[in-house]
């Protein structure tokens, strides 16, 4: 079914967790989760980064000691001197880096690196340009439909670029210069007092009819629903996708990783896996609409490849 082994990866934490909780989350991932690669780094707000800095070295060391590959992720929006300095510092590290912004792509040119989901890789020509600059792995934007992924994989194989697809977690939809979290609490972006830490999985945005609609994470707008491609894993493997990304949330991510690993290895069925995922306490419904070229929040029953 697949030409290469399937690798389960864990994307960077996108939310503002308490630093000790952030550290303990990764310690447990190191010790218990069947993931091969873990992405570390602040992607959304540069102001959060110093909160986790004291634990970054210990977390990376624990993950590496457990045999996991650590990739450093850069900011997804760069507008100030401090943010440019942060990107420069991450790109200067002697490790593999995931670029989530064009400025990072520029700094990493000429050395092997990853392109994150915030870099819009929608077609073969874009992928070829990035590959010439050193991109060896591309995590596709989560709104990519199956038809586009299927068309992109053969070209990626020719270029020697592995394709990564997010298969679990809220979907990042947009970034803004304004911090919605601060605004919602009557604060400015510069004096936010890190109010986003009250929402470990983001703040629900509701319609006038009081129905949950989207999720706010600082400057980021996300889906309310949780992307879940557990039923589409075999189809993605058949296309040539070799890396499958879980986006961290406050639910039991070790159990989530165990379930997805079991399906990738054909040890449990997608039906059994779906039932087990339903048993995890998640505050929102699952979705897979983008995959089928439908509204992203929708759900379609998976069909065998």
Contact 11, 44 (CB under 8 A): no
pLDDT confidence of residue 1: 36
Could you give the CA distance from residue 117 to residue 140 in angstroms, rounded to a whole number?
5
3-state secondary structure at position 285: coil
- Distance in angstroms (rounded) separating the CA atoms of residues 218 and 195: 9
Residue 180 pLDDT more than 90?
no
pLDDT of 4 over the 80 cut: no
Residues of the chain with pLDDT > 70: what percent? 98
Give the containing element (helix H, strand E) for 148.
Answer: helix 146-159
- pLDDT at position 303 is 65
Calculate the average pLDDT of the chain: 94
Which of 158-162, 181-185, 203-207, 212-216 is the least confident region? Answer: 181-185
Question: Tens digits of per-residue pLDDT, 134-167?
Answer: 999 999 999 999 999 999 999 999 999 999 999 9
Task: Return the pLDDT at 192.
Answer: 84
Q: Alpha-carbon distance 5 to 213, whole Å?
A: 37
CA–CA separation, 118 and 142 (whole Å): 9
pLDDT at residue 305 is higher than 70 = no
Average pLDDT over residues 38-58: 94
Tens-digit pLDDT profile for residues 52-93:
999 999 999 999 999 999 999 999 999 999 999 999 999 999
Q: What fold characterizes domain 7-170+227-292?
A: TIM Barrel (3.20.20)
Kindly report the CA angle at 23 between 18 and 27, in degrees rounded to 5? 145
Do 173 and 120 touch, CB atoms closer than 8 A? Answer: no
* Res. 191 pLDDT band, cuts 50 70 90: confident
Is residue 252 scored above 60 in pLDDT? yes
Q: What is the pLDDT of residue 188?
A: 83
**Residue 194: band (very low, low, confident or very high) from pLDDT cuts 50, 70, 90:** confident
């Amino acid at each position: 079914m697949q030409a290469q082994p399937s690798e389960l990866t864990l994307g960077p934490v996108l939310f503002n967790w308490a630093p000790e909780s952030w550290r303990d989350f990764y310690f447990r991932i190191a010790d218990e989760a069947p993931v091969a690669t873990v992405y570390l780094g602040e992607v959304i707000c540069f102001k959060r980064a110093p909160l986790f800095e004291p634990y970054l070295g210990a977390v990376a060391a624990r993950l590496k000691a457990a045999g996991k590959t650590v990739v450093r992720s850069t900011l997804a929006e760069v507008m100030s001197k401090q943010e440019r300095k942060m990107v420069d510092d991450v790109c200067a590290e002697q490790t593999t880096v995931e670029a989530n912004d064009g400025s990072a792509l520029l700094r990493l040119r000429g050395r092997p690196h990853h392109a994150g989901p915030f870099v819009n890789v929608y077609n073969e020509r874009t992928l070829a340009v990035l590959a010439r600059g050193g991109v060896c792995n591309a995590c596709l934007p989560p709104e990519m439909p199956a038809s586009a992924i299927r068309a992109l994989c053969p070209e990626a194989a020719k270029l020697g670029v592995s394709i990564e697809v997010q298969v679990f977690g809220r979907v990042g939809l947009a970034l803004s210069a304004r911090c919605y979290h601060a605004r919602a609490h009557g604060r400015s972006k510069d004096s936010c007092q890190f109010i986003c830490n009250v929402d470990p999985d983001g703040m629900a945005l509701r319609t006038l009819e009081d129905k949950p609609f989207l999720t706010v994470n600082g400057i980021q707008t996300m889906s309310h629903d949780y992307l879940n491609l557990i039923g589409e894993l075999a189809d993605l493997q058949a296309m040539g996708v070799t890396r499958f990304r879980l986006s961290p949330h406050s639910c039991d991510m070790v159990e989530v990783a165990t379930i997805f690993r079991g399906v990738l290895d054909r040890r449990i069925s997608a039906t059994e896996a779906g039932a087990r995922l339903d048993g995890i306490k998640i505050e929102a419904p699952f979705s897979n609409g983008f995959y089928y070229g439908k509204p992203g929040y929708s759900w379609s029953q998976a069909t065998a490849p």
